[in-house]
Amino acid sequence: MPKRNIIWLLIGAVVVVLLLKAPESIVRRDQLYTQFGPLLDVRVQVRKHYVEPVDDAALLRGAIDGMLNRLDPYTMYFDEQEYEQFHQRTQGQFSGIGIEVGQGRTGGLVVISPIEGSPAFHAGLRAGDRITRIDGRDTSNMSLAQGVRLIQGRAGTSVTLTIHRPSSDTTIEKVITRGLVTVRTVRGWARDEDWHWDYLIDPEHRIGYIRISGFEAQTAEQFDEALTDLRGRQDVAALVIDVRDNPGGLLDVVANIVNRFIAEGVIVSTRGQFSPEKVYTATRDEKYPPWPVAVLVNGGSASASEILAGALQDHGRAVVVGEPTFGKGSVQELIQLENNNGAVKLTTAYYYLPKGERIHGRGIRPDVLVELSPSERAALVDSQQAVYSTTAAPSSAPQGSAPATPELSSTPAADTAPAGAARAAAIPIDRQLAEALAVLRARLATRPS
């Protein structure tokens, strides 16, 4: 049988994987091939009559993507390489130099930001650097995918990048040894003079601040480390958890974090047409002290972020401040296909908050509604990107010290920084964060001494 026909039979394999999840009484194999016969007929007509040569692999990918796109925005297919990259991202660790790369407006490759603590971070790469050569190969006409493949590699191997830095109009060459990169998803509100994260945003009232940008495999551990750091420097009395613009992540991870705040009861439950109900309940694991907690959310807070906010809200454990959340209440399962044919990320269930609410398509309503204007929103995003993208160490930092994180930046104005805060870089105190701090200060003022 010709190889291209073998490729097209993979369509049947994908369909079987998807549809055999249903009972045999509903889907029969003869019906399956009859129903998808038009797909193969269309392929024949395309190959016979289309104006240009057509690659069967491209048609196959298009057919799979089109089929899954009819389901929902979260169901998708990954080929073998995409699956490996997706798996690495969810684990929060991967081998490489640790940079996010984009395509320049006039071509070529541009550093979006280095990942905190990565080889690229320590080598001094900065947001906006243009990568003009990779191991001597010119990148001016190189695709983004090709550039990423050349930069990636096994830990311990090296790559040579030629960098043009527009800010100083200089060209430098960096030999960077690849390593194991851990993606930092938990951050504080500011960098101190030693360029470490500071999690104490209000020293006077002893209020901590932790931002979670995603729920990946390392997030719960990083969250514990942040709380240990916060409690070690000065006993914390209240806490702000910022999950604005956090798109979500792993269900087990967010359930683990919520479990540390509530003593008993349901955290979240999931169920679907072919998925039996699964209930995550609080256990007797070590708990955080009963601090007043405020959770910051907005329209970019989705999925696992909504579970965190909704579960703590339902249990009366936190006040939710900000704007209505996105409303993604579905659960995706990664199903590997046979013969190294990649994987399907398939929506298999909806999740339900402790009080039984399914928020899919509706989102969570904050207890304290604070809506930012478009200009305020743009200013906040710009200032945060400035801090997260800053990689030049402050002038007070010792020579050779690690550069700033690809995180928040811009030193706050004197009237927005908490008293006594001397910081190299900090997030601005926007109206939503200011309201969360005000809520916690009021709660602390009414607590029994």
The residues carrying an active-site annotation are 303, 314, 328
* CB proximity list for 44: less than 8 A, separation 6 or greater: none
Q: What angle do CA 8, 9, 12 make, to 5 degrees?
A: 115
Cα 363 to Cα 369: distance, rounded to the nearest angstrom: 13
DSSP, collapsed to helix, strand or coil, labels residue 78 as: strand
* CB proximity list for 124: less than 8 A, separation 6 or greater: 174, 391, 403
Helix (H) or strand (E) holding 349: strand 343-352
Which one, of 51, 436, 374, 69, lies nearest residue 238 by Cα? 436
* CB proximity list for 228: less than 8 A, separation 6 or greater: none
DSSP, collapsed to helix, strand or coil, labels residue 198 as: strand
Tell me the two tokens of residue 74: 């979260």
Beta bridge partners of 96: 179
Which one, of 262, 306, 304, 270, lies nearest residue 287 by Cα? 262
* CB proximity list for 369: less than 8 A, separation 6 or greater: 322, 323
Q: Which amino acid is at 93?
A: Q
Quote the crossing angle between the two packed helices 56-69 and 37-49, to the nearest 10°.
Answer: 140
Q: Is 311:353 a contact under the CB 8 Å cutoff?
A: yes
Cα 267 to Cα 38: distance, rounded to the nearest angstrom: 46
Cβ neighbours of 9 (radius 10 Å): 11
Q: Is 97:178 a contact under the CB 8 Å cutoff?
A: yes
Residue 84 CB-half CA count within 13 A:
8
Cα 267 to Cα 314: distance, rounded to the nearest angstrom: 9
DSSP state of 182: E
Tell me the two tokens of residue 317: 């454990």
